[in-house]
Chain A
Amino acid sequence: MSFLTYLINGLSLGSIYAIIALGYTMVYGIAKMLNFAHGDFIMVGCYVIFTICSTLSGNTFVGIIAAIIICTLLGVTTERIAYRPLRGAASPLAVLITAIGVSYFLENLALLIFGADIKSFSSVVKWNGVTLGDGSLRIQGVTIVTIAVSIVILIALQLFIHKTKEGQAMLAVAEDRGAATLMGINVNKTITLTFAIGSALAAVAGALLCSAYPSLSPYTGAMPGIKAFVAAVLGGIGSIPGAMIGGLVLGIIEILSKTYISSQLSDAIVFGILVVVLLVKPTGILGKKIQEKV
């Protein structure tokens, strides 16, 4: 039964990656930029929950809502102040470097406010979970909640994108920004909305991440952020189901290789898989093939 336990743990970690990757992939697909600071939005969300729940001993639910609101505002503000001025810059690297600057800024701001010491985060999921079979398979509450939340988010996002006007606008902007403008779509508003959704998802992912791995530091978001980006690329960046698949695959591989091969090498294996997948399919599992017209 232990394999099943690891598999479920992998699924849970993968779900967290998937939620982060959804934010990454939406921003990439629509704003055409790598938001390197996305991982740090997660960290901000965690600190908000930590402050409200542990320091001010507030309600968990209030904490999560506050984290979502603050992250959304953070995402929108960052886009407005730091990224939008660089839209249309001569090099796409300009906005990438700015995003790195934002990442440094958030990490060091957290360092200044909360210090470098690792805070122990108390899980937002109070449920202990279930025990199956003769007691050998125990699934933690947070694991089940994580998987469930990610499924709900995926469905909600798909519905939003395909069934609402705003979602259609996002697709149009992703496809061709110039044409979308001509069709009367407000590109700025659409991109702002994308950042809002992506950042809100980062807050949710943060709550789940720190509940499963309860140590919080200013750098908590960085590595999961990068892994989620890898997941988004693995699934085919710009594709929402792709981000989900990529996240799950990544989480499962990471947990299984940590368990069965080497915890030291697990990251190398995760990145190795990415390399192999991209060599076979250069635009990821569900990515569209791009061919330059001669």
Chain B
Amino acid sequence: MSHDDAAPARMERAVLARAHDIRCVYGGGEEDFTAVDGVSLELGEGEILGLAGESGCGKTTLGNALAMIATPPLYVLSGTLEIDGESIDLSTLSVADLKRHRPYRGRTVSMLPQGAMNSISPTLRIRSLVHDVMRAHDPRVSRDEALDLARDRLKMLEMPVRVLDSYAHQLSGGMKQRMITVISTLQNPRLLIADEPTSALDVSSQRMLVEMLLAMVEHRIMSGVVFVTHDLPVLSQVSDRLAIMSAGRIVETGPTRRLVEQPEHDYTRTLLSSVLDPSRETWERGRRRAGLDAGAAGPAAPAAPAPEKEVGAR
């Protein structure tokens, strides 16, 4: 991706969604723990927003609040999501709120979960889940219609159609994650919350998933993505803009290239400096510190530059 182009590109985009003043707590004990403290976000049409921060900073909690799937002990105390000309109250203080949010889930805002490995019931064929997801928002959808849509989507993404007849245990981790990605986007959601979708994958599966997500955005299958991860190298490849989160708050936002190269907030600088650099220079420095021969065979060359996403093509 040409990050230099990202900021101007964003300026041209219409606003897809605005999240305002989201506050979340984990309750049930003697004291509530505030996990998200008054976060507001804005996302443009066709934009991928990277949400980064260390473990426990509230990224996943914010993602759950946006996807309207917070269940006790997590409570969304306040917050609104403006999308498609509608302002959705995100608060979940009663069971009725959970029911109120159901029609938005999967269609207006969809979720690509962190635990995709176990996201499919072990006794359910993929095709049954596909039908259930399609029927969730339109009970008239027949099994054949649902499967036709899924087949078209799989062909478009160059994935094997026979996967639909499988059970979860018959798929590899990478294939399961990609299949969940397809199912999460079957309803052409306006906004996709991708919660650490690459964290449990090997590098080649990570790459396949990232390329697939980019292709989906390119094909306008979803209108925007909030990509939650602590993996900054992945985010730098995927996202148009970054939001850095710490202790339940957004401390800095900006175009990805600008934020990576010229971070303004101390926490962002600390976070970026913590990323391991697999270059020859770093490797040699580590060997010298350990008192080993720095001249031994090591990484031949600095890591290849990240593949660029063609923002203009979208």
Is B truly associated with A? no
